[in-house]
Structure 1
Amino acid sequence: MYDPTVARLTYRGLLGRRRALILGALPVLLIVISAVVRVLTGADDQVAHDVLGGFALATMVPIIGVIAGTGAIGPEIDDGSVVYLLSKPVKRPAIIFTKLIVAIAVTMAFSALPTFVAGLILNGNGQQIAVAYTVAALVASIAYAALFLLLGTVSRHAVVFGLVYALVWEALFGSLVSGARTLSVQQWALAVAHKVSDSSLVTSDVGLPTATVLLIVVTVAATWYAGQKLRTLTLAGEE
């Protein structure tokens, strides 16, 4: 299912100079903020929780997921260059699967690693807070990449819709409306983080069994449907 050529082309597209700068901006900002906060407040578990939960997991991870997930295929569909890829002897589900793996890897690299570094800066991983939020970032990266890759296959405005989901649904409704939290990738990831952490600060409104099932279902369903949508793209001469 995994195609090295498709992966190489996708990595090249995602990690081009301009996109790499965009991907790197938020992680750098997170680390800078963490360093400044540590100097001003010292090691504090509550502060570490606030920064990692409020900025890293709630804002940085989904935005990076939007950039990586939609960028893995959206631009190729928008400019029509996807026809060259589809003309190759590669099965279309394999194309989607490969692009998903690349999107997940890029999202993890630009979100989980900076989250761990920021956690070490903030409180030296006291009460396993840095590790817990790093695990949450890793888990969330998988679901976000699948969701936003799907958006990239179904809409020319995938980035806009992705940002609306990340910043309005996850950040706004997810924090204000209790029912919306059950349908929040952030809360699912926090359920896993809660299991890892030794701190009572790291909590989720969704139980771990429910979160695990939803993470798997959403990831698999989004990947499957993206593959089906790619099947509907036809080339000249195809019947």
Structure 2
Amino acid sequence: MYDPTVARLTYRALLGRRRALILFALPALLLLIAAAVRGFNGPDDAVASDVLGGFALATMVPLIGVFAGTGAIGPEIDDGSVVYLLAKPVKRPTIIFTKLIVAIAVTMVFSAVPTLLAGLILNGNGQQVAVAYTVAALVASIAYAAIFLLLGTVTRHAVVFGLVYALVWEAVFGSLVSGARTLSVQQWALAVGGRTAEGDLVTSEVGLPLATVLLLAVTVLATWYAGRRLRSLTLAGEE
């Protein structure tokens, strides 16, 4: 189910010069914000939770997921180079699964690690806040990678739709509109991460059992349908 050659090519595409700049920019900004907030306010659990929840989890993680998920396959479909990959003796579900693993790994590295570092800078993991948001970022990375990988297979405007979802639905509706929170990856991830925190600084309006089911369902269904979409692509000479 995992092909090292496909993985290597996908890593190379995702970590090319342009995308690497974007992937490094958001974590660097988070760390700068964390350092500035710590310098001005000193250690504070509530402030740390606000920064990690408001910027890291609500904005940075989904944006990195957009670039990693859509970039894992979208450009190959857009420019037609995917035909060379499909012509190789590799099963198409294997291609999707491999690209998903790569997208998850890249999203985790560029989102969860900076989240942990920022939390430690802000307050040294007071009340387990840094660890809680890191766990939430890890969990969210899996779902976002699957969702945006699927987008990359269904539309040539995957990045645009992904940005709308990340910036409008997750960052605005998922944080402010109570009815939309049940359908927010951010809230599902907070339900999981919040279990490791003390007190009520890391909370979610979605219960842990429901959040776990939704995270699994979205990840599995998105991956399955992305595989179906890739199988629907045909090469010249195929019946």
Structure 2 length-normalised TM:
0.99
For 2:237, the aligned partner's letter is G
Could you say which residue in structure 2 is the equivalent of 1:178?
A: 178
Could you say which residue in structure 1 is the equivalent of 2:69?
A: 69
- Counterpart Cα distance in 2 of 1:173 and 1:100: 26
- Counterpart Cα distance in 2 of 1:229 and 1:147: 13
3-state DSSP of counterpart to 2:183: coil
Deviation at 1:17, TM superposition (A): 1.3
Deviation at 1:178, TM superposition (A): 1.2
For 2:203, the aligned partner's letter is T
- Counterpart Cα distance in 1 of 2:178 and 2:35: 33
For 1:223, the aligned partner's letter is T
- 5 Å matches for 1:158-177? 158-177=158-177
- Counterpart Cα distance in 1 of 2:177 and 2:32: 31
- 5 Å matches for 1:34-73? 34-73=34-73
Could you say which residue in structure 2 is the equivalent of 1:223?
A: 223
- Counterpart Cα distance in 1 of 2:120 and 2:219: 30
Which moved further from structure 2: 32-41 or 98-107?
Answer: 32-41
Q: Does 1:202 align with 2:205?
A: no
Could you say which residue in structure 2 is the equivalent of 1:236?
A: 236
3-state DSSP of counterpart to 1:90: coil
- Counterpart Cα distance in 1 of 2:170 and 2:115: 18
Structure 1 length-normalised TM:
0.99
- Counterpart Cα distance in 2 of 1:200 and 1:179: 21
Deviation at 1:172, TM superposition (A): 1.3
Deviation at 1:170, TM superposition (A): 1.0
For 1:187, the aligned partner's letter is Q
Is 1:128–1:199's contact at 8 Å kept on the other side of the alignment? no
Could you say which residue in structure 1 is the equivalent of 2:26?
A: 26
Where structure 1 has 5 or more consecutive residues not aligned to the other structure, the ranges are: none
Could you say which residue in structure 2 is the equivalent of 1:86?
A: 86
- Counterpart Cα distance in 2 of 1:8 and 1:27: 23
Write the deviation string for residues 102-129 of structure 1: whole angstroms up to 9, x where unpaired: 0000000000000000000000000000
Deviation at 1:176, TM superposition (A): 2.7
Write the deviation string for residues 44-63 of structure 1: whole angstroms up to 9, x where unpaired: 00110000000000000000
- Overall identity of the aligned pairs, in %: 83
Write the deviation string for residues 161-191 of structure 1: whole angstroms up to 9, x where unpaired: 0011111111111123211100000000000
- Counterpart Cα distance in 2 of 1:32 and 1:173: 26
Could you say which residue in structure 1 is the equivalent of 2:117?
A: 117
- 5 Å matches for 1:2-17? 2-17=2-17
- Counterpart Cα distance in 2 of 1:8 and 1:119: 32
Write the deviation string for residues 17-74 of structure 1: whole angstroms up to 9, x where unpaired: 1110110100000001100110110000011000000000000000000000000000
Deviation at 1:194, TM superposition (A): 1.2
- Counterpart Cα distance in 2 of 1:159 and 1:205: 28
- Counterpart Cα distance in 2 of 1:194 and 1:114: 18
* Segments ≥4 residues shifted beyond 4 Å: none
- Counterpart Cα distance in 2 of 1:59 and 1:178: 18
Q: Does 1:99 align with 2:112?
A: no
For 2:91, the aligned partner's letter is K
Deviation at 1:137, TM superposition (A): 0.2
3-state DSSP of counterpart to 1:237: coil
Could you say which residue in structure 1 is the equivalent of 2:132?
A: 132
Give the number of equivalent residue pairs: 239
CA RMSD of aligned residues (A): 0.5
Could you say which residue in structure 1 is the equivalent of 2:187?
A: 187
